[in-house]
Amino acid sequence: MSTSEVVLPVGANVPRSNARTAADLPIDTNAAHYVVVTTDGESATAAAAFADRLAPIPVIALDASAGTEALIEVLASARVGWRFALLGGDPGLSRCRAALRAAGVIDAEIVTAGPDPRVGGPRELFCAHCRAISSTDAPIGGETPCGGCGQRLVVYYHFSRRLHAYLGYRPDAEELR
């Protein structure tokens, strides 16, 4: 499989961003509060520029590249009317989105700006056999050993928003021995 853009079947369930860059993200002027989260170390400048665009709406800026704890703390005081902007790539983006969903946030309250998941980038992989979630650089449709049980897994174009991971399974799992 080449490393250029993977062609996915129509209806493939993979995460999509609202825009490639924060500059192109729409702003909901009715929002009561915005939480701007960077999920990798590269989006800080974009996040600051986006926060400037949001004025006078109050903004909380967070860095979640090391984990979602800070975001989860903020969620405890969030209310309906808040909006969440996630900037950066996977796997941090999907982990943040999963944390938001777990807190009751719906897609209409989240905007994301990040690279196209079909083009490179690390992603998290759920092993259907040992259930471990490991991080991989393999492209969607590519193959990689499972970080838990070591079996060769195909990175399938099915993404679980709850687990924030792609489905991985042994491509020869159905062959009889």
CA atoms lying within 13 Å on the CB side of residue 153: 32
Tokens of 16: 């999509």
Of 81, 137, 171, 172, which lies in the binding site for other proteins, with binding defined by CB under 8 A?
Answer: 81
Asked if 78 interacts with other proteins (CB under 8 A), we say: yes
Asked if 177 interacts with other proteins (CB under 8 A), we say: no
When the beta carbons of 111 and 133 are compared against other proteins, the nearer one is 111
Stretch that binds other proteins, among 25-33, 132-140, 143-151, 156-164 (CB under 8 A): 25-33
Stretch that binds other proteins, among 6-14, 71-79, 129-137, 163-171 (CB under 8 A): 71-79
Asked if 10 interacts with other proteins (CB under 8 A), we say: no
Asked if 55 interacts with other proteins (CB under 8 A), we say: no
C-alpha 168/C-alpha 78 separation (Å) is: 34
Tokens of 4: 């250029």
Task: Look at residues 162, 175, 156, 168 and name the one whose alpha carbon lies nearest to residue 130.
Answer: 168
Task: Look at residues 2, 92, 94, 87 and name the one whose alpha carbon lies nearest to residue 51.
Answer: 87
Stretch that binds other proteins, among 29-37, 42-50, 133-141, 142-150 (CB under 8 A): 29-37
Closest CB 2 distance from other proteins, rounded Å:
39
CA-based angle 129:66:4, to the nearest 5?
60
